[in-house]
Structure 1
Amino acid sequence: MDVCSKNQNRTAPLGADGPQRGDAPLCSRTNGWSWPPHPFQLLAWLLYAYFALTGFGVFVPLLPAHWIPAGYICTGVLFACHLCVHVMAVSVDPADYNVRTRSHKAPVPEFDHSKHAHVIENCHCYLCQVDVGPKSKHCSACNKCVSDFDHHCRWLNNCVGSRNYRLFLHSVLSALLGVSLLLVLSFYVFIQFFLDPSRLRTDNHFLGRNESVWLVFLPLAPVRSAAAVIPALAAVTMAMALMSLVLLCHLLCFHIYLMWNRLSTFEYILRQRHRRDGRDPKNPEPGKETGAPSIHLIKDGSYPESLGYTNSQLDLEERTTVAVRGEPEFLRTVS
C-alpha cells in the first residue's frame, strides 16, 4: 500500500528551528477530497443540503401557481451551477506543475535547517524535492507547493491557487446569488403566511383540507405539517441566509479589492504585517530583520528572494498564519 494514502492531512509541527519531523510519514494532500475532511467543509455541504431541501421542498411549492415554474427554474439553475463549480474547485489539484507531474510519491522529507536557510531556494523546494515556479508557495496545511498560492480555504478543504482561483470566485458568486434568491422566497412565504395564507395554498393538494393543515414537499411527496412549521422554517432560513449573505458579500468584495490591486490573499497578509511592524518603535527597520519586502514590491505582485521562498523565520510566522488562520479575520469563517 502506498504510504502516502495515510495521514493525508498531517503536517510537520513547527518548532524553534522550523518544521520538525513527526513520527508518521508526512504526505501531501491531493485536493479537497483528501481525508480527513475539515469541519467547515462538512458545514458547507450541510448548509447547501438544508437550503436546497427547504427551497425546493417548502418555499417554491407555496408560491402562486404562475410563479412556481420560474421558481423551480431560477433556483435550480443557481443551485446546480454552484454545485458544479464548488465540486470542481474542491477536486482540482492546485499544486505546482512539477509537483503534480513528478513520477514518484514519497513522504515529504524533513526540512534540514542546518543545510538550507529556506524551504525554497532558487526555485527549488527541498520538501517537495522539485523545481517550482517563482510564485509557488509551500502550504503547510496541504504539505505541497501550490502554484501562485493565494490562500488555504477550509470551506473547500483545499488550497486556492492559479489553477482553481476562478472556480473559487465563481463558487462564491453562485452561492451569493443562490442564497439571495432563497432569502427572497423565504421572506415572501413568511410575510404571506400572516397577511393572506390563502395565497400560499394554491396547489391542488390543499383543496378540501382544513386551513390548519399544511403540506410540504409538494407535489410529489406531500407531507402533513402543523401551521407553525411554515413560518418557523421561513424565519430560520431567513436568519441563516442573511448571515451567509453578509459573509459572502464581504468575501467577494475583499477579493475584488485584491484583484483591483493585483494582490493575493497571502501578499495582503504580508503587507498588513509589514505595516504593523513598521509602526513598532522597537523595530525601526523591520524589512531587514524579518525579510519582509517594501510595500511597493508587494503591491506590484513581485517577490524578492527573501520573501518568495519560505525561510525559517517566515516559516514560523507566515506559514502558521496561512495554514492555521488561513485568511484575514472574516475569511476564517467564510473561506
Structure 2
Amino acid sequence: MHRGARKHKPETQPSEEPCAGEEELEAGASAMAADTGGEDVTEPTLRDLTGILQAFMGLQEAREVKLNEERQKQDQRFKALQHQFQLLQMEVQARTSPLPEPSPNDAGPEEDDIEDVKNAQATSASVRMSSGQSQFSLEPKLQKLTSDDDIEHFLVTFERMAAACRWPKADWVFHLIPLLTGKARSAYVHMDVDETHNYDDVKTAILKKYDINPETYRQRFRSLYVYPDESPKELYVRLKELYGKWILPRGKTVEEIGEMLILEQFLRMLSPELQVWIKEHDPKSAAEASTLADVFVAARRKGQPWSNASFKDKNACKPASSRHHQGSATGRAH
C-alpha cells in the first residue's frame, strides 16, 4: 500500500502544481486579508482583491472630483479676470476714440422733427420713471481718484452712482478698479486674488490703507467739533452716518448693539495704559474686556491705579509733590 501510494503521488503531482502556484499568488496578493485557515483560501482572497480594486477606484473618483473642483475655480477666476479686462478695454476705447463730428453736407432737422423728438424723449422718460427703471441710457463718466479727494467721499459718490445706474453689486468692483490711483490702487494690488472680486472686501482694504476703521468712526462720532459751514441738518446726517459706520447695525440684534455701547463706556472709564492694552487684544464684548482688565491689574503691583479717575488724580498730585521736594532741596542749599 505504501509503495502504491508513492507511485501514485508523482502521477498526480504535475496536475496539482499549477493550482499550487495560483494559490501562492493569491495568498501573496491577499497578504493583508484575514487568516481563514484550512484549504478554503481561494474565495476570501478573491473578495479581498475585489475590495482592493473598489477602494482604488473610489480613490480615483475622489481625485477626479477634486481636480474638477479646482478646474471650476480656475475657470471662475479666468472669467472674472476676462470680464475685468473687457471693462478696462471698453473704458480705454471710450476715452481714446473721438466723438464723430457732424458732416456739413447733412441737412439739419426741421423744427417739426425737433418737436417730435423732444416729445418722444419726454414720453419715454416718463414711461421709464413710472416703471421704476433708470433713465440713464449711457454709463456716467466717473473721474479718477486724485490725491486731493477724500477717499470716503469718493467711495460714497461711487456707490450712489452705481445704485442710480442699477449696476449689479457683483460688477461694482470692475467699475471701481480703473478709477483707483495711489494708495487705493496699492491696497487693491496687494490683496489676495480670491478677495479682489468682492466690492466690500476691496472697500475694506482701501479704507484700512488709509487707517480708517470702526474706531476712527467712533472717535469722530464722540467728537464735539462742528464744521464752520455745517448746518444742524448736515450735523445730524453726519452723526447718523458715523454711527452706522461705527456700530454697523445691519444684521445685529439690540443686545449686540447694547454690548458694543457698554464696551465703549467701559473702556473710557479705564486708564489710558489699560485702554491700549485691552484694545490690542480686540475683545468682542464688555465681559471679555473686564476679564482682560482683571488679568492686567493682577499682573501689576497692588495699589496701582487702573481707572481713569484714579489715574488723573495721581497725575494731579505729582506736580505738587515734586514742587515740595524741589523747595526742600533749595532750602537745604541756602
TM-score under structure 1 length normalisation: 0.21
Structure having the higher strand fraction is 1
TM-score under structure 2 length normalisation: 0.21
Instruction: Pick the structure with greater CA Rg.
Output: 2
* Structure having greater relative contact order (Cα 8 Å, sep ≥ 6): 1
Structure having the higher helix fraction is 2
